[in-house]
Amino acid sequence: MSFNLETYTLVHVVLSLVGIASGVIVVIGLLRVRPRNGLTALFLTTTVATSATGYGFPFTHLLPSHVIGAISLVVLALAIYARYARHQAGRWRATYVICAVAALYLNVFVLVVQLFLKVPSLHALAPTQSEPPFAITQLIVLAIFIGLGALAVRRSQTA
* Phi-psi category of residue 63: left, alpha or beta, with phi > 0 → left and psi -120 to 50 → alpha: beta
Question: pLDDT tens for residues 78-107?
Answer: 999 999 999 999 999 999 999 999 999 999
Question: Domain containing 115: what range?
Answer: 5-157
Contact 87, 150 (CB under 8 A): no
| pLDDT at 1 exceeding the cut of 60 | no
Residue 157: per-residue pLDDT: 86
Q: Which residues contact 53 (CB under 8 A, 6 or more apart)?
A: 8, 11, 12, 15
The total of structural domains in the chain comes to 1
Can you tell me the distance from the alpha carbon of 26 to that of 47, in angstroms, rounded to the nearest whole number?
12
| pLDDT at 159 exceeding the cut of 80 | no
Can you tell me the distance from the alpha carbon of 27 to that of 65, in angstroms, rounded to the nearest whole number?
24
**Residue count of the chain:** 159
